[in-house]
């Protein structure tokens, strides 16, 4: 392991340049060059893992699945952050190299970690870990798993945004009402538009995806912000989001405590809440993600929330779509 540690500190110089590598293709010739790079492919939130079968079935494979495949937060049933597609090194060529996210383990006497952008296709992230054995490779994986996961997530957000941009909605209800622009597909249609509340929805085969936007005065919250957000959600649900039965309405699931974070959105202090919703007096439930961000210029809070109803179906990619849409929000340029 002394050799591993020595190589690790050597690799710090490499890792410090990762952000540069991520956005730049390094060539041996300093002159500008043009090369054909095919389009990358693959389902959203999928990672191709290249290693020997022995390693895939052993501790190294288990470590990859546990570290990069940790649970996607806020879902009623656990689903992994990424799905994995295993490839043996001997078949990692041609079209197999066109996947958008790749982590490759290479047996090498020099232990190191490298991160590449658009190496075989575009857009693409390739993480390469070299080591003499599985122990060395696991060491470098553990040291860099947050970085690897972060660039994979960012790559998927960019790809999902690109796909959404192919067919954007031309509706301007949200933009005109709240002075914010948000990019969502034309498949989403307005189902409710009141004085201070807009609800758009996309139908899917067994349910629907929903996006709601509303605003409230800046001074409405007390010191217990997380409790206040849940109370606000339940109030909005009772007023604006009815269930299928008379007297039913959406509330926050009481059996599970939501995830709660401080974050940034629209350039201001924001709060992110992820959890599960249910319908009072009915049997409906699903995941939600809520961003509440301050707009000091207008002395208000803007709430943007996505929630999914898709019984008996995987919900990870639906929630990922809604979060990508929410993160596209920006203030009107001329406000």
> Are residues 282 and 245 in contact, defined by beta-carbon separation less than 8 angstroms?
yes
Written as six digits, the tokens of 111 are 């232990």
Beta bridge partners, 193, equal 198
What is the rounded distance in angstroms from the CA atom of residue 211 to the CA atom of residue 158? Answer: 20
How much is the pLDDT for 127? 98
| Angle, CA of 209, 210 and 214, to the nearest 5° | 165
Sheet strands side by side (includes 46-50): 83-87, 46-50, 101-107, 125-131, 112-117
Q: Can you give the residue ranges of every domain in the chain?
A: 2-165, 173-331
Instruction: Give pTM, 2 decimals.
Output: 0.86
User: Can you say whether residue 42 is alpha, beta or left, with left for phi > 0 and alpha for psi between -120 and 50 degrees?
Assistant: left
Alpha helices in the chain (DSSP H): 2-16, 18-23, 53-57, 59-67, 134-165, 173-178, 225-240, 316-327
What is the rounded distance in angstroms from the CA atom of residue 273 to the CA atom of residue 323? Answer: 12
**CATH level 2 (architecture), domain 173-331:** 3-Layer(aba) Sandwich (3.40)
How much is the pLDDT for 220? 76
pLDDT tens-digit readout, 97-138? 999 999 999 999 999 999 999 999 999 999 999 999 999 999
pLDDT less than 50: residues of the chain: 1-30
How much is the pLDDT for 334? 74
How much is the pLDDT for 227? 83
User: Can you say whether residue 315 is alpha, beta or left, with left for phi > 0 and alpha for psi between -120 and 50 degrees?
Assistant: alpha
pLDDT tens-digit readout, 206-251? 999 999 999 999 887 766 788 889 999 999 999 999 999 999 999 9
Written as six digits, the tokens of 142 are 């553990």
* DSSP assigned state of 310: -
């Amino acid at each position: 392991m002394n050799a591993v540690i020595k190589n690790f500190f050597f690799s710090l110089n490499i890792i410090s340049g990762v952000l540069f590598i991520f956005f730049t293709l390094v060539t041996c010739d300093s002159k500008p060059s043009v090369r054909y790079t095919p389009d990358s492919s693959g389902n959203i939130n999928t990672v191709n893992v290249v290693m020997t079968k022995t390693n895939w079935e052993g501790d190294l494979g288990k470590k990859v699945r546990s570290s990069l495949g940790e649970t996607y937060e806020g879902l009623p049933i656990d689903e992994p952050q990424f799905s994995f597609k295993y490839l043996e090194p001997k078949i990692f060529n041609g079209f197999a190299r066109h996947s958008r996210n790749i982590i490759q383990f290479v047996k090498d006497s020099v232990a190191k970690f490298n991160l590449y952008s658009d190496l075989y296709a575009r857009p693409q992230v390739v993480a390469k870990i070299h080591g003499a054995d599985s122990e060395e490779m696991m060491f470098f994986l553990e040291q860099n798993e947050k970085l690897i996961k972060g660039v994979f997530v960012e790559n998927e957000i960019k790809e999902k945004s690109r796909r959404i941009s192919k067919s954007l909605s031309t509706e301007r209800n949200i933009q005109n009402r709240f002075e914010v622009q948000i990019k969502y597909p034309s498949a989403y249609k307005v189902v409710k538009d009141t004085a201070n509340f807009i609800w758009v929805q996309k139908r899917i085969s067994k349910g629907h995806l929903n996006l709601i936007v509303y605003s409230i005065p800046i001074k409405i919250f007390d010191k217990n912000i997380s409790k206040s957000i849940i109370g606000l959600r339940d109030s909005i649900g009772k007023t604006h989001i009815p269930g299928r039965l008379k007297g039913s309405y959406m509330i926050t699931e009481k059996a599970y405590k939501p995830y709660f974070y401080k974050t940034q959105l629209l350039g201001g202090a924001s709060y992110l809440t992820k959890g599960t919703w249910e319908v009072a007096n009915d049997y409906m439930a699903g995941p939600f993600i809520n961003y509440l961000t301050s707009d000091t210029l207008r002395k208000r809070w803007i709430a943007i929330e996505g929630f999914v109803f898709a019984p008996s179906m995987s919900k990870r990619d639906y929630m990922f779509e809604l979060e990508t849409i929410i993160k596209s929000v920006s203030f009107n340029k001329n406000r």
